[in-house]
Amino acid sequence: MDWLQDLAKLANEHTKPITWWTPSGLPVVQSYRKHRSKVLKLHIGERMLQANISEETSTLDKQRQANGIAPNYVHSLDGAALALTICKSQEYGVSSFSMVHDSYGTHAADSPVLADTLREVFVEMFEGKDLLEDLEESVRSSVPGVVLDVPARPPFGELVVSEVLESEYFFA
């Protein structure tokens, strides 16, 4: 999370939104803008009502950019896993789905196929890949001609991604 926030702060220094592509091919643009509030006073008959109106400005909200990058990045990967799982499951004949965020469901008869497919997609998404390197390159390309002093990416842990293929439980 710290590394992601540091990356967002570097983009902030150049007032650039953060963009990346998910493994499913979806482009993501994180561009939180500051808001300006206005108070409208409305007279309706004998009554006076107040309404607060918020409008977006063109100024990047640097605090929200830094705070939002970690959850937004992780959620984009969850979304990519969901989209790729549905596409691959359809190739295996599964056609009914019930999805909420990162909970996956289908008819009972298709559950084993969906469970296996989700694990396969996870391995395809993460095994042998450095998605943080891809994110870093995306941020670097958003400020061409500028050398960014990006801190070292966090090291990989000991997880053997392919072991999820044998796990009894994986997602819901």
Residue 172: inside a domain: no
Number of domains forming the structure of the chain? 1
Per-position b or e across 42-68, b if 16+ CB within 10 A of its CB: eeeeeeeeeeeeeeeeeebbbeebbeb
pTM for this entry? 0.86
CA angle 62, 154, 172 (to 5 degrees): 85
Residue 9: inside a domain: yes
Range of the domain at 91: 2-150+158-166
CATH for 26:
3.30.70
Per-residue pLDDT tens over the stretch 56-93: 999 999 999 999 999 999 999 999 999 999 999 999 99
Mean pLDDT across 11-34: 93
Residue 171: inside a domain: no
- CB atoms under 10 Å from CB of 9, counted, come to 13
Residue 19: inside a domain: yes
Residues tagged active-site: 102
